[in-house]
Structure 1
């Protein structure tokens, strides 16, 4: 999360280009971590939490299809009920609403 912390600081300073670059870097790292545990079904809730974090960053980077994929992969495991609910909410409230807004 060091990259995300840097992105937040850049956003607070109003540095849009740096915010975008750092958020993309944070997403790449978080997605890589999620990929490492994607098939580790016994690693719950860590597995689903990593996927949720990566999905949130994918949304921040406007990579909606990647966010959908990460959420689907998280839900394909056995996440705790509260995390599963958060994943579904993220899918409905963020991804679907953004797609409707852009007409995709």
Structure 2
């Protein structure tokens, strides 16, 4: 998991932020400011859920084409997944870390 935390996760985060910054010029001013505030928030599950919702809204409003929205949703999901895994690794006593034998 250390490889994922040190190499994979930072690359996914960088790709997600680059994708979001690339679409900023196409957004209405109000949504532009809101996305900038969202990007400034710490990387946590709530932020990633908000980005997922933003991708849905932006696709519905026509600010993003479907491929861009899918990319943002996938990257947000992957970052969220790997963040949870890293948190679980840091806290091995959490109930979600205990797996039942096959």
Same fold (TM over 0.5): no
Normalised to the residue count of structure 1, the TM-score between the two structures is: 0.38
> Looking at both structures, which has the greater relative contact order when contacts are Cα pairs under 8 Å and sequence separation is at least 6?
2
* Structure having the higher Rg: 2
